[in-house]
Structure 1
Amino acid sequence: MTTNETIAGTLRRAVATRGRRVLLSVTVGVGILAAGALLAGLPPAERTAATFGELVHAFVSVPLPFVGVLLASDLRRTSGGPVLPTLVGATLIAVAVGLAGDAIVVAASAASGSVAPEPWANVGGIAVAGVLVQVLAQLVGTGLGLLIARPVWGCLATIVLPLGAYALLTPLGAARDWLTPYGALQGVLGAAPGWAGWARWVAAAVLWGAALNVVGVVVRRRRAPAVGAAA
């Protein structure tokens, strides 16, 4: 990778190796498995787009941040390359994965044989929310990839830190749902999330998406002189 990093270059890096292509396939695959599990386990009266949307996007959001970690970790090979193209490229990947998740939700809902009163309630909002959930998950990955030197630990942190924060903040009640990615997911992937649900996503995105990446960029810049000296 050169210091003249571009968005297209980031997208190429995301599929540059067999392992990374497998990771993207697995990311979409777990969404298909989640939808299949619901089709097999839920009674027809409970099969709604909201039910499929929450579980499918929750499952997809687990491996997706690994992609962000790997893309951000690539930047350690340079001392002064720009970070923004990587963040934009990673976000575009998250949008594509979110849309793939939406397609899975729609296909599962159509094939569900649902007898629920309103099985397609708020399907448009769910589709938008699914994309936003994946964007936030990916930005958690890029932020931790910038902060943590070893990609394997960065990937593990994308699971442990958000879910650990969700558990630790449980005594705070509703505040937990404004301060964690999983709380944000639950807020927007419902039958009718309302303004509070979208506001929860914004709050979590500022904390876990924007702020985490800003800190990662600052830390990377401080490390850059040491990297250049070592080179």
Structure 2
Amino acid sequence: MTTHESTIAGALRRAAGTRGRRVLLVVTAGAGVLAAVALLAGLPPAERTVVAFGEPVHAFVSVPLPFVGVLLAHDLRRAPDARVLPTLVAATLIAVVAGLVGDAICVVATAVSGSTAPDPWSTVGGIAVAGVLVQVLAQLVGTGLGLLVARPAWGCPATVVLPLGAYASLTPWGTARDWLTPSGALRGVLGEEPGWARWVTAALLWSVALNAVGPTRRESCPPLRQPS
């Protein structure tokens, strides 16, 4: 990876630089569409609100999205002198776009749902902001694990297994899991009464901490060989 490719623009190009990565971006958006279609088929008209669509749609989008972060961070292992910050910024920008795409899916689904709910658009602004924040958190979990784990084949599933495993293991602690895990943060901010403090706490643990430790781990490991 050249110095030019380690810029924000270079990282954005790398995110769609191969057919597999372009497919991954399409799958990320498609997961949100799939969730919306399933809800349109399963929810009665009286329950079809933007809030009802918000959590499932953004939850589905947040599953494949961190794989993008893992792959971008993994690229840095081939260039140990490359700066990490441009890649983190690029990954965050991609997450913002993914969040806005998820918001658009929720809005369209609500608009065409034939909802009979009293106020199907209640808190639409808060849901829109929360959707973006959820995807930023998910993406930065991906970059953090991409820096920490040497191989994407392990890093990508870790973005699913570790957060969900933490959520399950903290079940006996009651509401603590809602403050200490990305899944809890997602449920906390995508409701009618968002708990923004939950997102901040989870972001500090899973985004800030992972991406602070990740560069140190990268520097302590030998660079991966360039593929022939």
TM-score by length of 1: 0.95
Corresponding position of 2:190: 189
- Structure 2 unmatched ranges of 5 or more: none
Mapped partners of 1:130, 1:222: distance in 2: 35
Report the 3-state secondary structure (helix = DSSP H, G, I; strand = E; otherwise coil) of the residue aligned with 1:171.
helix
SS in 2 for 1:149: coil
Confirm or deny that 1:144 pairs with 2:145: yes
Match of 1:27 in 2: 28
Deviations 1:143-198 (A, max 9, x none): 000010110110000000000000000111111100000000000001122xxx10
CA distance in 1, matches of 2:3, 2:181: 34
Q: How many residues align?
A: 223
Q: SS in structure 1 opposite 2:150?
A: coil
1:60-81, CA deviations, whole angstroms, 9 ceiling, x for partnerless residues? 0000000000000000101211
What is aligned with 2:40?
A: 39
Match of 1:216 in 2: 214
2:197 aligned to 193, 196, 199, which one? Answer: 199
Q: Which runs of 4+ in 1 moved over 4 A?
A: none
Distance 1:227 1:137 in 2: 26
Q: What is the identity, as a one-letter code, of the residue corresponding to 1:213?
A: N
Q: Which runs of 5+ in 1 are unaligned?
A: none
Give the distance between the partners of 2:148 and 2:80, measured in 1 at CA: 14
Structure-2 residue corresponding to 1:172? 173
Q: C-alpha distance in 1, partners of 2:116/2:193?
A: 19
Instruction: Name the CA distance, whole Å, in 2 between partners of 1:227 and 1:217.
Output: 12
Tell me the distance in 2 between the aligned counterparts of 1:107 and 1:159: 28
Partner of 2:2: 2
Report the counterpart of residue 130 of structure 2 in structure 1.
129
Q: Deviations over 1:5-63 (max 9, x none)?
A: 10000000000000000000000001001000000110001111001011000000000
* C-alpha displacement of 1:220: 1.2
Separation in 1, partners of 2:207, 2:118:
37
Q: CA deviation at 1:3?
A: 3.7
More off after superposition, 79-88 vs 1-10 = 1-10
Which residue of structure 2 lines up, in the alignment, with residue 161 of structure 1?
162
Question: What's the secondary structure of 1:12's corresponding residue?
Answer: helix
TM-score by length of 2: 0.96
Name the CA distance, whole Å, in 2 between partners of 1:220 and 1:183: 29
Q: Which amino acid aligns with 1:28?
A: A
Q: Following the alignment from structure 1 to structure 2, what is the Cα–Cα distance between the partners of residues 135 and 170?
A: 24
Identity of aligned residues (%): 74
Q: CA deviation at 1:227?
A: 3.6
Measured against aligned partners, the alpha-carbon deviations of 1:182-222 in whole angstroms (never above 9, x if no partner) come to 000000001122xxx10000000000000011111111122
Q: CA deviation at 1:131?
A: 0.3
Query: Counterparts of 2:32 and 2:158 in 1: how far apart (Å)?
Result: 21
